[in-house]
């Protein structure tokens, strides 16, 4: 099975994914392990059916809102509250945050999310600071934050989003492509969790109250083969780790995305078959908004951030 997976991944790498940088990661202290029962208690599980239904409802609401604005020439700017303030939105992460694959040039989900937040009456405007970079891994982001690279931006941020994990997995894949074992990913996942927890901890040192949205990642190789591979389990376990980190922080929210990119039936992939296209980022943004509502972003932000119904 691993040999099949290696061939599949090699084909993907050779057809457009070879720009991901590979550097040695930094060691990290292993956090205390939690039992499966403890994780299940702290993470709310949404079935694919429930997620699909909620996502469809959000899409319907968005279409209705656009239709009403067009028919009645509504302008949300005229409905701003007295004292509406600008929102500083800092986006950290990898190529998903940078918006690679988005043919519309809207920086993927980040500009779309900023536009949705701007419709909130308490928000005057959203000032987006996109710091996503292709190939960025958790050790690299942690080093930047620890070295004070984002001190000012984090201190002033009203919202922070993070995409991280895909390149940590790809580092293992590209290093031992034809001798992959699940134990390699399990060992690295412990280090990844330590680094990710440290990232959140360092953000909190600079801004104790800012809402942090931790966005999960997906398995891009699922569209290349119909056969089951151990990669599905690996991605799920890494995403559960991120979900637990979010659950352990009072003002953090985890957003799952893996089910959005299981197939390309809805044409959600860019031509590199690795990153989302504009349609994929549309769906990703709708999912982020959906889960920010579930996490009660309005309460997290003391009413400063929300979404129009």
* Per-residue pLDDT tens digits for 141-192: 999 999 999 999 999 999 999 999 999 998 988 887 667 888 999 999 999 9
pTM of the model as a whole? 0.75
Tokens of 99: 């918006």
- The b/e string for 68-90 (b: 16+ C-beta within 10 A; e otherwise) is eeeeeeeeeeeebeeebeebbbb
Q: Whats the size of the chain, residue-wise?
A: 309
Q: Sketch out the chain's domains with CATH numbers.
A: 2-12+85-300 (3.40.50.1110)
Which residues make Cβ contacts (< 8 Å) with residue 243, sequence separation at least 6?
43, 214, 216, 254, 256
pLDDT of residue 82: 80
The confidence score (pLDDT) of residue 139 equals: 97
In tens, the pLDDT along 196-212 reads: 999 999 999 999 999 99
> Going residue by residue through the chain (309 aa), what tens digit of pLDDT does each one get?
545 455 445 445 444 443 333 333 333 333 344 444 444 444 444 455 555 566 666 666 666 656 655 555 555 555 688 889 999 999 999 999 999 999 898 899 999 999 999 999 999 999 999 999 999 999 999 999 999 999 999 999 999 999 999 999 989 888 876 678 889 999 999 999 999 999 999 999 999 999 999 999 988 776 555 555 678 899 999 999 999 999 999 999 999 998 888 765 666 665 665 788 899 999 999 999 999 999 999 999 999 999 976
CB 285 within 8 A of CB 277: no
What b-and-e string marks burial along 30-61, b requiring 16 or more CB atoms within 10 Å of the CB? ebeeeeeeeeeeeeeebeeeebeebbeebeee
pLDDT of residue 29: 38
What are the Cα distances from residue 60, in Å, to 63, 64, 132, 195, 305? 5, 6, 30, 38, 21
């Amino acid at each position: 099975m691993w040999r099949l997976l290696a061939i599949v991944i090699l084909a993907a790498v050779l057809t457009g994914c070879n720009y991901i940088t590979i550097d040695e990661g930094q060691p990290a202290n292993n956090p205390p392990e939690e039992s499966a029962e403890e994780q299940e208690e702290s993470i709310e599980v949404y079935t694919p059916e429930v997620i699909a239904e909620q996502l469809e409802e959000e899409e319907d609401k968005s279409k209705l809102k656009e239709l009403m604005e067009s028919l009645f020439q509504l302008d949300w700017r005229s409905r701003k509250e007295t004292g509406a303030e600008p929102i500083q939105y800092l986006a950290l992460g990898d190529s998903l945050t940078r918006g690679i694959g988005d043919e519309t040039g809207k920086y993927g989900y980040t500009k779309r999310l900023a536009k949705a937040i701007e419709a909130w009456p308490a928000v005057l405007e959203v000032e987006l600071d996109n710091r996503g970079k292709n190939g960025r891994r958790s050790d690299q982001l942690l080093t930047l934050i620890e070295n004070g690279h984002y001190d000012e931006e984090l201190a002033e941020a009203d919202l922070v989003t993070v995409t991280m994990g895909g390149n940590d997995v790809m580092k293992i894949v590209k290093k031992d492509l034809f001798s992959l074992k699940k134990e390699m990913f399990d060992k690295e996942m412990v280090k990844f969790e330590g680094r990710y927890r440290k990232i959140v901890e360092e953000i909190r040192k600079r801004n104790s109250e800012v809402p942090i949205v931790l966005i999960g990642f997906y398995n891009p190789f699922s569209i290349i083969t119909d056969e089951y591979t151990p990669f599905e389990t690996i991605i799920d376990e890494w995403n559960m780790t991120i979900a637990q980190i979010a659950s352990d922080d009072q003002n953090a929210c985890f957003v799952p995305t893996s089910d959005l990119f299981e197939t390309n039936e809805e044409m959600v992939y860019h031509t590199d078959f690795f990153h989302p296209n504009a349609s994929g980022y549309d769906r990703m943004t709708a999912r982020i908004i959906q889960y920010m509502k579930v996490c009660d972003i309005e309460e997290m932000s003391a009413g400063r951030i929300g979404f129009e119904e």
